[in-house]
Structure 1
Amino acid sequence: MSVTAVQISERRQKVKTTVSDESIKMRKFISMTMTMLKIGFIGFGGGSALIPVIEDEVVEKDKIVSEEEFNDDVMIASITPGALPVEVATGIGRQASGLKGMAAAATAMALPGALLTVLLQAVISSAGSVVKSQINYLSIGISAFIILTLLAYSLGTVCQAVNKREGQLYGLIILGVFLLSGEKSIYQLFGLDIKPIFALSTIQVLGAAFFVILFTKGHVRCLRRSIPAAIITVCYLLCAGNAHIIPVSAKPFILAVMAVLSILGLVQSIVESPHKKAFPAKRLATSAGFWLLFVVILSIPAMFLTAKALKFIGMGWLSSIMSFGGGDAYLSVAQGLFVEGGVINNADFYGNVVAVANALPGSILCKILTGIAYDVGYNLNGSVIEGFLVALSGFACSVAASGAIFELVFCVYEKYESLQIFSVVKHFIRPIISGLLLTVAVSLYTSGIRGQVQTGSGHPALVITLIVIAVNLVLMWLQRRGKNIHLIWKIVISAGISFAGCNLFL
């Protein structure tokens, strides 16, 4: 065989390999996008509640990212403002398929909830509350399924410990975080009229945890720093808690001390670190440019329809940046900016947008911002089409702001990930999140399930929830015995049980 023939053969083989690699990448991209879309459709319970569902799909089943990569995404999303599911999807998409993966994953995660919000707003205006009540019935079963998933995730955290001692430590952290954050929900669950001592928010729990880690520079066994950190943290908890054992007037001072000491510990860690990476400025600039273009393109219809579009877009970005602490916290931010700012009246905000958003899957931030934008567009001329077109700008703001903030913080994390503080954070973030998820599980029942049924003692809600959980436990047992039961079937069965039960017995 001549040299030319050999070269031709090698080139053909290289082309085949390239085509094969591209085909694999495309299949991975499509699979990831469809997975995010599916999770977006079943995402009842808000941001944190979706962490176990996302992990099961992208780590355990599809193996799109590793468990370590997923935990990094969850850690960054948990400490940044914005829509948590969208932020986690942004990280997964970036690691799986680069810039296009980031865009597709974030959009697919947010789209179902946002789209259903504006569709239901349009339908309710003509069909009344009947449609919403039926959606509530479906959501009860799905919420019960999510509760079981959250419990399984927390149990799995303890089981993942490398030894018995670490498992006990994880268990104590989970229990401690649950009691600090879920005290109010626990009292509601048992019908107790007791004022909680703590009842801390997610951001308060995470803030206290990160203060200890930052101030001790990740060396939590160093008594010289850990003892003062523990004393200051206890003072903060007693001040920030519901009972205000330490007067609330001391809170600004305590927070200032915590902030200064945290920054001091972080700076010292950076200076002492022998490993320093270059800051990925080009990647950050590319991402920022993309998200800006994303907002501009989707907001073009709104800009043609109303002169107030630019103001609304700015308020949308600002509200996303201010949205620390989950969905409930975003409602207060949205009220301050949009209701008190005259963008939407109080009756439409709570009676229409919030009521609809609470009945649907997906991020509260994305649904609320999209729903407000729809209301703005609809009220221009009473046109559903104009409502949908302006809603695009709200959707774009919610996704782009979350994605951009996540990328910024992740780039900073990548530069300094070798620091001891990040090693400790990665080690303990899962048990901390697990404790918070137990609070979400209890809240899902007390507010999401029992609150929607509205029947005195709430026994029908409890019976339906227990039936759904029992059926899913059987399905989990069958899976362990080798049966392949897809997530969609679990969701359909759970929703079907609650839909039939509510319509027959309520």
Structure 2
Amino acid sequence: MKRRNENQNANKTASCENKRKFKDFCIEIFKVGFVGFGGGNALVPVMEEAFVRNDEFDEDQKTYDKDVLVANLTPGALPVELASALGNHAFGPKGMLLGPVLFSLPGVIMAAVLFMVLSSLSEGALNYINIAAVGVAGFIIALLCDYIAKVFARNKIVSERRFKRTYLVVGLVIFFTCGSAIYKLLGVDVTSVFSISTVHMLAVAFFIAFWLHGNRDALHITTTLVLSFLFMLANGKAGFLSQIPFLLPVVEILMLVLSVVGLISSVRETKVRLELDRVGIRKTFWSWLIFIVVLSIPAVVILQDAVPFLLRDLLSTFMSFGGGDAYLTIADGMFVEQGYISEDIFYSQIITVVNVLPGSILCKTLFGIGFYMGYGTTGVAALGILTGISAFACSVGASCAAFYLIYYLYSGISKMKAIEFIGRWIRPIVCGLLVKVMLALINSGMALDETTGVSRWVILIFIVVLAGVNYYVKKRFKPNPWLMVIVDIIVSLVFFAIL
């Protein structure tokens, strides 16, 4: 009887200790969310300090290193995936679900407040917001330039050959995607031959990765060049070849078939052996599916085209390689170019807000798109927040589902040539796509010439100089991002007031 009471007391003590640790974990991950500036990789040492080097938690260095590696191979929001992994290792399903939500919550709450304020302003007040957004654009362009510079520097360390090829890849992506943005910047009314969307560019990139992935024979190179060129020409702004019956569907089917063939070949070459915890996989994916479905209900009730929109949320997350800044190119292609949200709102309001707040850019961007879709449909900010939550749930759920898929398969697929090829070249491709984002930010700022009377070329020079100063200050002094943004906004308001 005495031993039984001792066991019960021990179990009760262990249960209390586990609850205390879980509470401490929730508080700590929420605190990390408040300092979540600088992108996913910038948060890797922050999370390591909070959970690996902290004796309060049981995360070991080897497990954390694997989490970081898998998160970098996985599309979606890297810090959200790490938060889920940390919670899952320590507390199982409840930690897996609550970790990423609590990490993202500070940024999403602050974003919701700012979106409600922006959506209720008058046209005159919005003009001041757009002027302030020019200052933020200078900050964002500096961040994107820093990202691009790091990609080039990393590839130069690998080899001089990789460095030169990075220039080639970035140049080709700019050539095929940025034509219309460049013509718009120059004020030339010309239709670009290509200027394909981000989605189509990534489709070509994955086709090359799965079908080519290092093969140098004539068959692979010829089919890759011909099919990729036809696909981009048919999907270009000028619409060449789009009138030829069945051409585009045939090209797309061939690209899909060859991608599957190449992927199977890659699996055979590496002799992938998968030893899976099928029960764990089922529980994990059912948990995230239920999470997405339940939180998607508000959008389904409020929005007329909710299902296509939510599916695009999921797809855009699965396509998001290269960090949060890179997701801006995906969002542009999936939502702006397809008419779900206007370019003006996306670049002057959503991007402005998500880049000055902590947390995942991907999650905040989808929350913002969902908010403005709900608000635009109903005119009620509270309903906009509900549709924003649905979009946010898709971003978190898709990110974590992708992470756990790669996590379970990692030991087998990490050596596949196709996966290595994607890991090697996805960041240079993203660099080219980020140039498109920078051009869009500049064009958005130059459009203020109509409401402010300031020459569009003067605005262009101002943005370029401001971005250059931001880049130098960031590299030289590493100031607080909030301080940089506030100074940029003040400088922009003063600049337009003087002129």
**TM-score (normalizing by structure 2):** 0.73
Structure 1 residue 399 and structure 2 residue 392: aligned? Answer: yes
1:33 matched to which residue of 2? Answer: 33
Equivalent residues of 1:211, 1:258 under 8 A apart: yes
CA drift of 1:263 comes to 1.4
- Out of 285, 309, 332, the position equivalent to 1:327 is 332
Equivalent residues of 1:357, 1:364 under 8 A apart: no
Query: How far apart, CA to CA, are the structure 2 residues paired with 1:280 and 1:103?
Result: 25
Q: CA offsets per residue over residues 142-196 of structure 1, 9 Å max, x none?
A: 1111112212221221111212121111111111111211122122223333331
Query: How far apart, CA to CA, are the structure 2 residues paired with 1:138 and 1:176?
Result: 33
Equivalent residues of 1:215, 1:261 under 8 A apart: yes
Query: How far apart, CA to CA, are the structure 1 residues paired with 2:196 and 2:69?
Result: 23
For 1:169, the aligned partner's letter is: R
| Stretch deviating more after TM superposition (314-323 or 161-170) | 314-323
CA drift of 1:132 comes to 1.7
The 5 Å alignment of 1:283-294 reads: 283=281, 285-286=283-284, 288-289=286-287, 292-293=290-291
The 5 Å alignment of 1:382-393 reads: 387-388=381-382, 390-393=383-386
Equivalent residues of 1:120, 1:356 under 8 A apart: no
Equivalent residues of 1:212, 1:230 under 8 A apart: no
1:269 matched to which residue of 2? Answer: 266
Structure 1 residue 54 and structure 2 residue 51: aligned? Answer: no
Query: How far apart, CA to CA, are the structure 2 residues paired with 1:431 and 1:132?
Result: 36
For 1:372, the aligned partner's letter is: M
Equivalent residues of 2:449, 2:455 under 8 A apart: no
CA drift of 1:261 comes to 0.9
1:145 matched to which residue of 2? Answer: 139
2:353 matched to which residue of 1? Answer: 361
Structure 1 residue 132 and structure 2 residue 130: aligned? Answer: no
The count of corresponding residues between Structure 1 and Structure 2 is 432
Equivalent residues of 1:136, 1:359 under 8 A apart: no
2:418 matched to which residue of 1? Answer: 421
CA drift of 1:425 comes to 0.7
Query: How far apart, CA to CA, are the structure 2 residues paired with 1:35 and 1:114?
Result: 18
For 2:39, the aligned partner's letter is: I
Equivalent residues of 1:211, 1:262 under 8 A apart: yes
Query: How far apart, CA to CA, are the structure 2 residues paired with 1:276 and 1:395?
Result: 41
SS in 2 for 1:147: helix
Instruction: Return 5+ residue gaps in structure 1 as ranges.
Output: 1-13, 40-52, 78-83, 336-348, 379-383
Relative distance call for 1:163 and 1:262 in structure 2 (3 A) is: same
Equivalent residues of 1:198, 1:242 under 8 A apart: yes
2:433 matched to which residue of 1? Answer: 436
**Over the residues paired in the alignment, what is the CA RMSD in angstroms?**
4.0
SS in 2 for 1:485: coil
Relative distance call for 1:320 and 1:359 in structure 2 (3 A) is: closer
SS in 2 for 1:408: helix
Q: CA offsets per residue over residues 275-295 of structure 1, 9 Å max, x none?
A: 333456535644553563476
Query: How far apart, CA to CA, are the structure 1 residues paired with 2:183 and 2:395?
Result: 33
Relative distance call for 1:474 and 1:423 in structure 2 (3 A) is: closer
Q: CA offsets per residue over residues 67-107 of structure 1, 9 Å max, x none?
A: 99778656643xxxxxx6xx444324324544232222344
Equivalent residues of 1:89, 1:109 under 8 A apart: no
For 1:475, the aligned partner's letter is: V
Percent of aligned positions with the same letter in both sequences?
Answer: 16
Relative distance call for 1:71 and 1:235 in structure 2 (3 A) is: farther
Query: How far apart, CA to CA, are the structure 1 residues paired with 2:160 and 2:219?
Result: 28
2:251 matched to which residue of 1? Answer: 254
1:231 matched to which residue of 2? Answer: 226
2:56 matched to which residue of 1? Answer: none
For 1:156, the aligned partner's letter is: K
For 1:236, the aligned partner's letter is: F
2:84 matched to which residue of 1? Answer: 94
The 5 Å alignment of 1:172-211 reads: 172-211=168-207
SS in 1 for 2:353: coil
CA drift of 1:410 comes to 3.4
Query: How far apart, CA to CA, are the structure 1 residues paired with 2:259 and 2:239?
Result: 23
Query: How far apart, CA to CA, are the structure 2 residues paired with 1:63 and 1:193?
Result: 52
SS in 1 for 2:447: helix
Relative distance call for 1:493 and 1:92 in structure 2 (3 A) is: farther
For 2:367, the aligned partner's letter is: C
2:460 matched to which residue of 1? Answer: 462
Query: How far apart, CA to CA, are the structure 2 residues paired with 1:501 and 1:293?
Result: 47
Relative distance call for 1:375 and 1:153 in structure 2 (3 A) is: closer
Query: How far apart, CA to CA, are the structure 1 residues paired with 2:400 and 2:437?
Result: 26
For 1:35, the aligned partner's letter is: V
SS in 2 for 1:260: helix
2:58 matched to which residue of 1? Answer: none
| Stretch deviating more after TM superposition (18-27 or 253-262) | 18-27
For 1:145, the aligned partner's letter is: F
**TM-score (normalizing by structure 1):** 0.72
Query: How far apart, CA to CA, are the structure 1 residues paired with 2:344 and 2:442?
Result: 23
